[in-house]
Amino acid sequence: MISFTLDDEQESLLRDWQKNHACKYRVEDGNRYTGTFGGADTFTFIPTSVEEVVIVKCACGAEIDLSPEHIFFQKLKKRKDSSK
């Protein structure tokens, strides 16, 4: 078996993005409607020699990069921005 997982931090970032990105499929209650069966998000896992690249794409075209290295650099950037 081969399985791909998100750790707690990746899941938290994903859930936040799912609820909050500007999305043409968002309906009044805040959820996204992309049809009876849902299926708004496409998950891409790319195993590389240094990390597992994780990209999630919404049906609206928005993407979030949940790769560990990307998350690390986002946090670094946030820390730099807040110390200005």
- 60 near Zn ion, rule: CB under 5 A: yes
Distance of CA 73 to the CA centre of its chain: 15
- Residue 8 phi, psi dihedral angles, 5° rounding: -60, -40
Which residue in 6, 14, 53, 62 binds Zn ion (CB under 5 A)? Answer: 62
Tell me whether residue 58 or residue 66 sits nearer to Zn ion (CB atom): 58
Tokens representing 22 are: 């500007």
Tell me whether residue 42 or residue 72 sits nearer to Zn ion (CB atom): 42
Which segment (4-12, 45-53, 56-64, 75-83) binds Zn ion by CB under 5 A?
56-64
- 58 near Zn ion, rule: CB under 5 A: yes
Cβ at position 23, least distance to Zn ion in Å: 3
Do 64 and 13 contact (CB within 8 A), yes or no? yes
Residue 7 three-state SS: coil
Determine the Cα angle at 14 with ends 82 and 60, to 5°.
105
Residues found near Zn ion in the complex (CB under 5 A): 23, 58, 60, 62
